[in-house]
């Protein structure tokens, strides 16, 4: 769909479409959530192709799964006693205390806890979790995660356009939506932390 008030903005990205897709791919591999939301927004605005965007983000996500596991395994072999790996181990077991007993569901859950999935990818390789179990868990969670983040981008864009057709207001609304989403994610992680602390205290009594 074409929106005239976005002409200078959309023209820039469509004129550099290959770079736009490369940036989307890179940031999906690196972080993911914000990149997917922005990808959904750009698709809704007609700047990016839905088909190409979905294919690129899926490839980036799969490569990240494999790279994270392999890199974690490499670090575990070369630097098994490093402080970095011990930090990762503490963080994973803090949020996912049953990782060794239930690796599948722990990996699935990590996808939806802010700041935990990346370290879980590394830890899975370091801890030598079964690779097939790891990939199945990551694929399952990624289907929900990719669809959810992409869908949020579509939703944020449509709602912002319902409110305003001014480029400045539209951009501000999108920024507020993304900031609000990030805050909610961090709040959920904080609640999980508090729950884990409460569980530990209860178990000690």
Residue 129: the pLDDT is 93
Give the range of the structural domain holding residue 12, as residue numbers without chain letter: 4-204
Residue 112: the pLDDT is 84
- Give the Cα separation of 47 and 43 in Å (integer): 6
Q: In the chain, which stretches have pLDDT less than 50?
A: none
> CA torsion sign, 51 to 55 to 56 to 61?
positive
Number of domains the chain contains: 1
* Contact criterion met (CB below 8 Å) for 69 and 134: yes
Residues 6+ apart with CB under 8 A from 75: 82, 84, 85, 122, 125, 126
Stated length of the chain: 205
Share of the chain above pLDDT 70, in %: 91
- Give the Cα separation of 77 and 36 in Å (integer): 33
**Could you please report the per-residue DSSP string of 151-182?**
HHHHHHHHHHHHH---HHHHHHHHHHHHHHHH
Residue 4: the pLDDT is 59
The model's pLDDT over 116-132, given as tens digits with 9 standing for 90+, comes to 889 999 999 999 999 99
Please give the DSSP secondary-structure letter assigned to residue 11: H
Residue 88: the pLDDT is 92
Question: Packing angle between helix 83-95 and helix 50-78, nearest 10 degrees?
Answer: 120
State the distance between the two ends of the chain, measured CA to CA, in whole angstroms.
60
For the whole model, what pTM was predicted? Answer: 0.80
Residue 205: the pLDDT is 58
Output b/e per residue, 144-169; b: 16+ Cβ within 10 A.
Answer: ebbeebbebbbebbeebbeeeeeeee
- CB atoms closer than 10 angstroms to residue 127: 19
| Alpha helix ranges (H) inside 45-130 | 50-78, 83-95, 103-110, 117-126
């Amino acid at each position: 769909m074409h929106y005239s008030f976005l002409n200078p903005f959309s023209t820039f990205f469509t004129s550099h479409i290959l770079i736009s897709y490369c940036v989307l791919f890179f940031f999906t591999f690196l972080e993911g959530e914000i990149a997917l939301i922005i990808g959904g927004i750009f698709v809704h605005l007609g700047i990016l192709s839905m088909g190409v965007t979905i294919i690129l983000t899926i490839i980036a996500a799969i490569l990240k799964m494999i790279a994270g596991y392999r890199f974690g395994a490499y670090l575990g072999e070369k630097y098994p006693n490093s402080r970095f790996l011990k930090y990762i181990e503490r963080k994973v077991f803090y949020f996912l205390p049953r990782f060794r007993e239930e690796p599948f569901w722990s990996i699935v859950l990590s996808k939806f806890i802010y700041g935990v999935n990346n370290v879980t990818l590394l830890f899975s390789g370091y801890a030598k979790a079964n690779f097939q179990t790891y990939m199945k868990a990551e694929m399952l969670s990624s289907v929900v995660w990719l669809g959810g983040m992409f869908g949020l981008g579509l939703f944020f864009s449509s709602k912002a356009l319902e409110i305003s057709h001014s480029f400045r207001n539209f951009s501000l609304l999108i920024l507020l939506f993304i900031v609000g989403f990030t805050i909610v994610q961090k709040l959920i992680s904080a609640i999980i932390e508090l729950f884990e602390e409460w569980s530990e205290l209860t178990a000690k009594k």
